[in-house]
Amino acid sequence: MTIIDSTVDPILPLFRAVGKIPSGLFILTAGQGPDFSAMLVSFVQQAARDPIVIATAINRERPMTQAIERSGVYIINIIAGGDRALLKKYARHALIGPEAIEGVRSRRLDDGCVVLPDACAWIKCRFRQRVDFGADHDLFLGVAEDGGLNDTPHTQPVVHVRHDGSNY
């Protein structure tokens, strides 16, 4: 892996420009029991309308990739603007097992999927395909099957803009 210091690298303008691409912040939850995983992601986009397909980029080394592939379903919890608790819990690394939801409010759907009620909204996706495009992340495509708005004081999602595009 090549680490690029965007403060001294000659392609600094490219990294700065890429950093201006806005995204949201999301907590993915997937799996059951010891395979349960939760993590923060920033690339989630609607990729199709009929059916509704959601694209999510996930680092290929994260336990979430296996949790999604094994369970076949996952939840995209959309972080509300002004919420710091979910960001604090998930900002540093992916969590697995019971500690993944320890200390945060959660509820299980009938099929066992975990929704975080402090997120402003959630979308349940059925895993459709993993796309390896030769980078450090793979693209996971899921068909949206269910979703809803949560009753939170902050109803608008976080809009995230990075300093530059050299790292996440």
Is the distance from CB of 96 to CB of 114 less than 8 angstroms?
Answer: no
**Residue 3 within any structural domain of the chain:** no
**Residue 5 within any structural domain of the chain:** no
Q: Which residue has the higher pLDDT, 144 or 166?
A: 144
> The domain containing residue 80 runs over which residues?
24-149
3-class secondary structure, 114: strand
**Residue 94 within any structural domain of the chain:** yes
pLDDT category at 2 given cuts 50, 70, 90 is: very low
> pTM of the prediction?
0.90
**Residue 19 within any structural domain of the chain:** no
Mean pLDDT of the chain: 90
Q: Which bin fits 163, alpha (ψ -120 to 50), beta or left (φ > 0)?
A: alpha
**Residue 84 within any structural domain of the chain:** yes
Q: What confidence tens digit (pLDDT) does each residue in 105-156 have?
A: 999 999 999 999 999 999 999 999 999 999 999 999 999 999 999 987 778 9
Please state the domain count of the chain. Answer: 1
**Residue 32 within any structural domain of the chain:** yes
**Residue 15 within any structural domain of the chain:** no
pLDDT of residue 1: 40
**Residue 68 within any structural domain of the chain:** yes
Is the distance from CB of 26 to CB of 88 less than 8 angstroms?
Answer: no
- Kindly report the CATH number assigned to the domain that includes residue 43: 2.30.110.10
